[in-house]
Structure 1
């Protein structure tokens, strides 16, 4: 990861109790488990090992978490601040790709994930602005009208999806669509469950609990190389010295191929741009929905938050062609983004929600970029690397910009291995 990334609202305005944290002054020389990465993926595995009973270790393992920069400074600390499960989105594509039953299992997995995170937040009384809401998908280009309908009806007609989940997703046609949606676009809109959340607060709160239970967190400790040992373990070479361990978990997402070159063409870094927008003087209130504005490629999303601000991400039209595309695709430098994309979010509320914004002035106090990890088949790589010649090495990466509705359960699974 590059030093001095763009400043994210979540990180800059979040609690800094773990900023530059090192649980011990020196690195341990020998440990049971090394987790590389302190984002949602690495944290979910740490929680599984230290806070739950999913681990197969007979006693609580010794665990060190290594982070190249500051805590949660990668994609999790830079995302859109929501857990938006797919439900109907892309459902026909997934049915064609994996079949009706598997596509239904994906829907149920992500539906349950939202409930799991809500229970997690309540269990540990985590202050992370968790706000259950509805997501409203609008169709902003005639080229996506038919495909959006095909996905919706493929979802509703999938016999393996429980009716109770189907009932959570509703389509509204004009004029009703225009009555409920603050963004007027296309002949219909579709609503589904979602939530807003402050991801950095969620992760740092969970990591604090893990530290209190034995986790050794080491920030600004870049992993440079992984080398297997003759006894089945690993030597993890870092910028501060080596660590010998029994097992390694790569929760490295966009930077995975730097340590595991076999993923060079399997996981590709793709940058996204996000902006925090707040009213300057008079506050118009909170949007009725979180929004997903559908375009043929790289749609926009908007997340409303409890402080009446909003987060907007996307801006695809500004970077889909060269030269800006080179700054965004196959690029993991999150210290910059194209100026066109940064400017795209200026006065976004008045452009997209004029009746809501009422001509009020808004400020983009933070606009930043972060690196996602796109897999070659859109599904993450999660599990044991032993079948590929890397015994006692595990991976949880490649979430294709869709990690929040999947990672927690994936991390539980990996910790159980």
Structure 2
């Protein structure tokens, strides 16, 4: 999650976290490649039969755009270049897109997250004003607030079965607080939001103590903020992305018909195919770059770096600004005393949505987060940031920050996730363990007890807690476009600081518009960014200097919702 700069430092940060996350200041760390033995998340069971290990029958030799990474970021760029959103004016540019993935499709952060599409606008606006201008902060807040409806609209284009499988939906939403100081700071931030961005502020309401306890069923709650279903959502990210990739593969197949391809574009996906090198081609070449893999070389005009925390592997110098952190997540059953989905005490228009409820629980110097799933009443529960004082192995070995396998699974975090939920609702109210979960059979990957799965994942962090989206300057790639500077360049979309589900989809839309409108080497970044998209996301020398001069990460909040 992004920093709690609108809240007191003593409440929101641990001085030790900065050192544990960032290690030695100023070091340009190369993360290498993703490990080949990652933990398996609940979201990834079962894997998509047609997409998880999909590869082209004939490996592509040329493409207009090569996208490195197959999570929400890369998929959104491809989707908006080929499908659009039904609102943005489309140019004739319908590219041939080749997507490369080092492991299985959607095996990174999107397939391992918390499932929220749920901004905390009151906090994010206060935070953004600390690191950028008020106008940019407004754009950032609106972009995040629009994500739930944007993802639901995209899911509506999928087949009925894929749409149901993806489970993109609006949910009940509560931010619950456990001490008066933190709650009052949040209330003040909400009042500022209502005054300065009324269209977003009206989506939030304040619940004082008695109402907060009634609605949340958490007896120790001091107060809460409730978001409307228009603002708050949830999605089965792995299924949504892999279903979207299937839609692109079926709707935009590779063809030898040049006229047909120029009319509609094409899409290919090659998983288990890591990009080994990105090289600029010499002047006079037909294409700007070649992307080297173990299965062949693709020549292309545009390269999009959408590999999350691994972006610095191909971008010299960004490792000083983009880093990584390991987070833990779980799928588990609640107690028999808790309401079923749709039966929680209502707080919005006197209803409790049958699509589930999502909580952010501000306790123990950090935040825990929960999504109640409608299918089997399971709880997707993550957090434990208040345990940051427990030094992980990543504190002494930076490479482990990129290892989403058993090497970095912490029994302390696992025990926390497996045992803390009853302490919120009370042990007696929580009730006995449930026994009504469907039997998946031995070997399904779903565990037989109350804990259905525990896993970890890698989130990409930035030093100023804002994403990096836009053109990649040659200073950061160390590659100069010599062949056709007017026809392409390198681009980047990464660094969502644990908040990808409320950043990546519309960031991909923004980046697709920049690619469409690219006008050559001298085309300034600002000219390629539409008025709705935050210029604060662009990676510039000025931004790097500003971030280096202000220790933003020293007040980095411990909230982690959707790494």
TM superposition score normalised by structure 2: 0.68
More strand by percentage: 1
Quote the Cα distance in structure 2 between the aligned partners of 1:275 and 1:19: 22
Report the secondary structure of 1:110's partner residue: helix
- Alpha-carbon distance in structure 1 between the residues aligned to 2:298 and 2:504: 26
Larger deviation: 326-335 or 213-222? 326-335
> Do the aligned partners of residues 59 and 177 (structure 1) sit closer, same or farther apart at CA in structure 2, a change above 3 Å counting?
closer
In 2: Cα distance, 1:17 partner to 1:283 partner = 37
Match of 2:529? none
What does residue 40 of structure 2 align with? 7
- Asked if the contact 1:350/1:359 (under 8 Å) is kept, the reply is no
| Structure 2 counterparts to residues 299-314 of structure 1, below 5 A | 299-307=367-375, 308-314=377-383
Q: In structure 2, do the counterparts of structure 1 residues 90 and 320 end up closer, same or farther at CA, with 3 Å as the change threshold?
A: farther
How far does the alpha carbon of each residue in 1:349-399 deviate from its partner, in whole angstroms, 9 at most, with x for none? 322223653233571111001111011111111111246465510101111
Relative distance call for 1:15 and 1:222 in structure 2 (3 A) is closer
Deviation string, structure 1 residues 9-50 (Cα, Å, up to 9, x no partner) = 1112354331211132x4222222110000000100111222
Q: Looking at CA atoms only, which structure, 1 or 2, has the larger radius of gyration?
A: 2
1:132–1:195 contact (8 Å) kept in structure 2? yes
Matched pairs, number: 413
What is the match of residue 18 of structure 1?
51
For structure 1, which runs of at least 5 residues remain unmatched after alignment? none
Aligned counterparts of 2:507 and 2:282: Cα–Cα separation in 1? 29
C-alpha deviation, 1:90, in angstroms: 3.7
**Equivalence map 1:176-255=2 (5 Å):** 176-193=211-228, 194-212=232-250, 213-214=252-253, 215-231=267-283, 233-255=288-310
Task: Summarize the Cα distance change of 1:7–1:262 in structure 2 as closer, same or farther, 3 Å threshold.
Answer: same
3-state SS of paired residue (2:146): helix
CA contact (8 A) 1:48 1:55 kept: no
Within 5 Å, give how 1:43-54 maps onto structure 2. Answer: 43-52=75-84
Counterpart of 1:135 (choices 173, 187, 195) is 173
What whole-Å deviation, never above 9, does each CA across 1:84-115 have from its counterpart, x for those lacking one? 12311243232233243332222222222221
Aligned counterparts of 2:156 and 2:43: Cα–Cα separation in 1: 21
Distance (whole Å) between structure 2 residues aligned to residue 56 and residue 121 of structure 1: 20
Deviation at 1:186, TM superposition (A): 4.0
Shift of residue 166, structure 1, vs aligned partner: 1.9
Q: What secondary structure does 2:121 align onto?
A: coil
Match for residue 438 of structure 2?
none
Please state if 1:369 is matched with 2:456: yes
Q: Distance in 1 between matches of 2:336 and 2:276?
A: 48
Q: Does the CA-based 8 Å contact 1:139-1:294 persist in structure 2?
A: yes
For 1:402 and 1:374, locate their aligned partners in 2 and report how far apart those are by CA, in whole Å.
10
Cα distance in 1 for residues equivalent to 2:137 and 2:95: 36
Residue 147 and residue 356 in structure 1: after superposition, are their counterparts in 2 closer, same or farther (change >3 A)? same
49-58 vs 395-404, which deviates more?
49-58
Q: Would you say 1:340 and 2:412 are equivalent positions?
A: yes
Question: Which residue among 371, 380, 384 is the counterpart of 1:315?
Answer: 384
Write the mapping of 1:95-110 to structure 2, written as runs, cut at 5 A.
95-110=129-144
Task: Name the residue aligned to 2:115.
Answer: 81
* Larger deviation, residues 213-222 vs 236-245: 236-245
Change (3 A) 1:90 1:329: farther
What SS does the aligned partner of 2:151 have?
helix
Is the alpha carbon distance of 1:224 and 1:295 closer, same or farther for their aligned partners in structure 2, counting shifts above 3 Å? farther
- Alpha-carbon distance in 1 for matches of 2:398, 2:361: 21
TM-score normalised by length of structure 1: 0.91
* 1:42 counterpart residue number: 74
Distance 1:17 1:356 in 2: 44
What's the secondary structure of 1:88's corresponding residue?
helix
Q: 1:52 to 1:380 in 2, by over 3 A?
A: same
What is the distance in 2 between the residues matched to 1:329 and 1:138? 34
Alpha-carbon distance between aligned partners in 1 of 2:397 and 2:453, rounded to the nearest angstrom: 19
